[in-house]
Each structure stands twice: as structure tokens, then as C-alpha cells.
Amino acid sequence: MSDLITLTLPDGSQRDVARGTTGADVAASIGPGLAKAALAAKLDGELVDLSRPIEADACLALVTARDEADALELARHDFAHVLAEAVQTLFPGTQITFGPSTDDGFYYDVAPPADRGAFTEDDLPAIEDAMRAIIRADKPLKREVWSRQALIERWQAAGESFKAEWAAALPDGEELSVYWSGADWMDMCKGPHLPSTGKLDPAAFKLTRVSGAYWRGDQNNAMLSRIYGTGWLNKKQLDAHLLRLEEAAKRDHRKLGREMDLFHLEEVAHGSVFWHPRGFVIYRELEAYMRRRLDPAGYSEVKTPQIMDARQWEQSGHWGKYRENMFVIPDEVPNTEDEGPVVSNDAQWMALKPMNCPAHVLIFRQGIKSYRDLPLRLAEMGCCHRNEPHGALHGIMRVRQFTQDDGHIFCREDQIVAEVQMFCDLLDTVYMDLGFDHYSIKLALRPEKRFGSDAMWDQAEAELRNAVIASGRATDEFGWEELPGEGAFYAPKLEFHLTDAIGRTWQCGTIQSDRVLPERLDATYVGEDGNRHRPVMLHRAILGTYERFIGILIEHHAGWFPVWLAPVQAVVATIVSDADDYAEQVAATLRKAGLRVETDLRNEKINLKVREHSLQKSPYMLVVGRREAEEGTVALRSLNGGQQSFMPLADAVAKLLAEATPPDLRG
């Protein structure tokens, strides 16, 4: 074996170097500037430590802060470990567990010492100071591989029961690595990491909050303290992010939902939404809009059962692949006596549906289908239930009971590209109508655990890819990207990621090309040749779920819905009590025209009324007094801008009606 290996650099040039050379060695050989700037290396596309020995020919790229995505991932990962070290330095006896990076920062779950309670936000300033001290110490980060038994014994000796449990639970044959921070602190981690803590900017992070989290996400396990932070490459990035967070807090759908009296959540129904009258107006308007878009697009709406036998879920594959996320129900009459178990051990199992697709296949199977019947497009505003962990629930964005704008297209193979392209066109117009003028498209490719052959996946991925190309959207303008390993277990999928008013992205729409479920549930049609064939099943949604999408709409519009979606479209308010009768006449005229109207006849100053209804995000106020009553006019005031103009009532009605008309019904 030669002692030399060949490294190919991003510019195509090659270097013959000694076997065991590291990325740091290559950086130093190129120049001192790169040696100082290098943070990690990429070997054949895999991110590795700068100190990792290179043992074979490879393509090598050196990662610096200019490679922002990789650099941020490294920095946030390291901030998490520095957080854990700081907590253990300040609070001896604290046990550490996990600490991943997140989309905008990091967190670490820790178990407080037995002699103190859970960590609180009052502890964060001291922890931040300790973190900055560790960063300024510029402690080298060094990787070591340990045997399983030695690592378990080490954790047990240190009183780290959670780490010992995790080391014992990792799969046999998996390499167990640790990273040392200097010579006095270590954590179990796959890596990679920066060369030293000093590569982090001590002014580029902030700890943000503390919450509870169950060990390994199981509510039967110990409760830990989860400490969150946000981490960046420099202070400028941090300051910009904190400004976005401040704006996001103002737009928080939970806060606005409470202030606007739209909905509430409570523990008697974890993860389920109590829609109030105002909130349900938005829901119904959105649902009606979607029906008006689906009907002319050739969809037939259906309704399917909430509960189906476990044998059906076994046949579809969900019982084996998805059961931990399902609510299961014994199919028997419960015991009503005080003694004995509520249900026996002999009950057959049923489950609340976590998705609608198997039921739609059962509808397709009713009667004989011909190739002439395809494509068959089924839609359902389908209520589903998924057993999400309590700690993962978040307002109406992540819930246990939700309604999808679901749909399934059963088609022939020669129809797939055209159907996906038509769906992309429909989705585009819906997003534009709802105020989202920018979204990106991702193709999620086959995961490691999946049904079906490689040939089937090759074909399904190509069909989705070709449909996006045919639609003209496989471009940088649409953020086109392919995501290895992110597909569902039964199909690849296109994901549609909205960008909201403050730059955040939300994955909402999806379409998946599935050949597995029709085969598992024996769906067939009679082809032109007279033989039976399997249809391809396209799973698709535009909004995703109504609950989550309404939460996104609330935050995107900061509560100021477009007039057609606003729960209350106009408030008629009086300046003096003499105008009360006229105010009621104005309100009646608006209601007759089809507008959602309230009156405010209280004996209060108009500025107070303006302020209170502005908090309710009502888009317009029609102010009336004696003069308006005498002249048949109104003072029309925009509460989301303050402009006010005087006009005849008929003109005000026409203006409001124009804005209150849903976008699909205009012109």
C-alpha cells in the first residue's frame, strides 16, 4: 500500500499527500490565512473534524465561515456542548443527556442536582458568563473512540446515569466516540466539532428560555430541564435574529389568538383546539375557499370513518411503521363495575385514523374501475388524530387532532407528470390568493427504511422531478432542492415551503407518488388491454392542516387578516348617543350586503373605541355622529393604518364589499 494518497480540491486541482494527513495539514500547506479560517473539512461530501486523519484518496473541501450553512451547524453544535460544560461547572452534580443544534440555535437537556429544583430563566445570565469563559479559554476539542463497556463504566463512575443508559442502548457495532474539551470535560458525541472552543464568537449567542422535557421523550421517564439558546457566527447575525424574534413574539398566534378571542387550548383535551365563534369564521371561510378551488379542479369530496379495525392498518403498513403515533381503541364494551379492569385482554384493537389514505383506497376499490375513469381525484376535509408527545405540542401549530385539506389522485402511469404539474399550478394560485408570494420546492428522496424496490423508487422520484421541470419551477427562484433520505416510507414527495412576512419558512403543501399502498390494499383498474393494472396513488395537500395553516396565517398577517378572512370585517361606532339609531341602520345595511359587522354604541370616547378594536384587528371602523346621521354618510377609518375618509354610506358599502370578496370570486 502506497504511503501517498491523492486529494482532489474543489477547483479540480490535486495534491499527493502522506496517508494520515489531516484537513488542518492541508489548510496550513495552502497558507496561514486558510489555516486560521478553516473550521472543518468535507471528505467526499461528509463533514468531518479538521483533525480527522485522511486514509484514502478523496475529494476534500475546507469549510470556513463563508460556508455559512455548514459553519452554523458546527457552531450551534459546539454552543450546545459548551452550554452543558458551563452548567456542570456552575452546578456540580448536574447530569447531562442530549444537546443538538436546531434551525436557529441549540438546546441541552440536563438533570439538575438532587439538592436543587429545576433550572429557571434566572439561572441563564450566570450560565452565559460561564460559557463565555469556556470560549475565551480556547479549549481544544479532541475526539476519542471508546469501547462500550469502558464508556458505560466511565459514565457510571461519574454519576451520569442517563449517559450510561444511552451508551448501553446504542446499536451493536456502532462506533462510540467522545469529545474532550481541554483535558477536564468530555461528552459522548458523533461529531464533528470545531478545532477548539475559541473558534466560537463569545458575543454571538444568547440563552433564551428553559422548559421541561422528558428523558428520551417518554412521559413515563424523568423530567429534565431543557435550556434553549440561539447561536450564530457573529454578533451582527445574532442581533438580526433577536430583532426577528422580537417581531415573531408580537405575531405569536397563541398571544393573538387569545387577544382576538379566536380559540383556546386546555389540558382536558391535550392537543385539540377549542374554536371560538370568531376563530371558526376564519376556519369556515378558508374551508369554503378550498372547496371552491377543488370543485373546478375535478375533485370529488368524500367523507371516511374516524375509526378502523387494526387489521386494516396492518394491511396498509401503518400498524408496523406508525403505531407509536396512533391512538388505539379496544373494540369491546368497557367494564362499568368498580372492581376489575376497564377492558379485558381479549379485545380486538381499532385505531383512530392518523391519515385518510387507506380509506380512500377502500372507496376506489368499490366497483370496477376502467382506465377511462382515471384520473380519479378524491378530496376530504379529513379529521385525523396523531399521538404526539405532550412536550412536542405547540399552540395550534402542532396538535393531536387536526383536519387536513387532503386529497388522493388515482391515475395511470402515463398521467403522473401531468397530474403533478396541474397540482403545482393549483397550489401556486392558492398560495398567492392567501398572501404568500414566495415559496420553495424540495424533492424528498427515499429514506433508509422503506417499502418497495429501488427501481420503483427511481421511477417515482424521476416522475416528480420531471413534473416540476415541466412546470418551470425547478429553478433557484423556487428554491429547488433535492433532500436525500427525507421521503415517506412508502413514497418520495415534493414539499412546498412558504416564506412568511418576517422571512420564516413553513413546510405546508406536499404531493407524494405512491405505488406501495395500492399494491398492499389491492387496488386495481381494467386497462385498455382488458387486464388488471395497479393505479399510482398521488397523496396531496396544499394547506397541510387547517389548524397549523391558520396559525401561520395569524403570524404572517400579524392578526390583520385580509378583509375577506377577517372575523369581524367592520365595526360601526358612534361618537354621540344621538347617532345610535343611525349606527344600527348602517350595520343592518352592511349585514344585508353580506358583511360581518359589529356595533359599538358605548358612551366612551372614540379614541378608546379605536384602540380597543385595533387590538381585535378589525380592519375597518365606520364612525358616525349627528352630521353623518343627517347626511347619510360615514367616516370610514382603516384600523391598520389610520387613514380616514368621509363618504356616502353606499360608497362605503361598495368599497368594503370589494375587499370582502374572496380572491377567487373577484373579476
> So which residues are the catalytic ones?
357, 386, 404, 406, 408, 493, 539
Q: What is the largest CA-CA distance in the chain?
A: 101
Number of H helices, E strands in the chain: 20, 32
CA torsion angle for 621, 625, 631, 633 (degrees, to 10)? 0
Q: Is 159 left (phi over 0), alpha (psi -120 to 50) or beta?
A: left
Euclidean distance between CA atoms 255 and 235, whole angstroms: 29
Whole-number Cα distances in Å, 546 to 129, 313, 550: 43, 25, 6
CA distance 511 to 540: 4
| Packing angle, helices 68-90 and 124-136, rounded to 10 | 110
Task: Tell which residue, 180, 177, 178, has the closest CA to residue 140.
Answer: 180
- With beta carbons less than 8 A apart as the criterion, state whether 134 and 85 touch: yes
Q: For residue 664, give the DSSP letter.
A: G
DSSP letter for each residue of 323-341: GGGS-EEESSPPP-SSSS-
Residues 539, 359: Cα–Cα separation, whole Å: 12
Q: Is the peptide bond before 192 cis (omega within 30 degrees of 0)?
A: yes
**For residues 266 and 399, is the Cβ–Cβ distance under 8 A?**
no
At 613, list the grid cell: 378594536
Cβ within 8 Å of residue 108, ≥6 positions away: 80, 81, 83, 84, 87, 96, 97, 98, 99, 226, 227
Residue 178 has φ and ψ, to the nearest 5°, of: -125, 160
Residue corresponding to grid cell 470535560: 185
Within 481-556, residue ranges assigned H as helices are 516-520, 546-556
Residue with cell 383546539: 273
CA distance 62 to 36: 11
What are the angstrom distances between the C-alpha of 485 and each of 165, 357, 497? 28, 22, 18
CA 263 to CA 275: how far, in whole Å?
A: 4
Residue 322 Cα distances to 393, 513, 523, 612, angstroms: 18, 19, 22, 47
Q: Prior bond to 375 cis, omega within 30?
A: yes
Between CA 349 and CA 331 the distance in angstroms is 6
**Residue 300, strand partner residues:** 378
List phi, psi (to 5°) of 536. Answer: -90, 140
What secondary structure does DSSP assign to 77-141, as a single string?
Answer: HHHHHHHHHHHHHHSTT-EE----B-SSEEEEEEE--TTS----GGGHHHHHHHHHHHHHTT-BE
Cβ neighbors of 633 (< 8 A, separation 6 or more) are 627, 646, 647, 648, 649
Displacement of CA 601 from its chain's centroid (Å) = 43
Q: CA-to-CA distance for 124 and 126, rounded, in angstroms?
A: 6
How far lies 635's CA from each of 321, 588, 603, 604, 655, in Å? 61, 17, 18, 17, 13
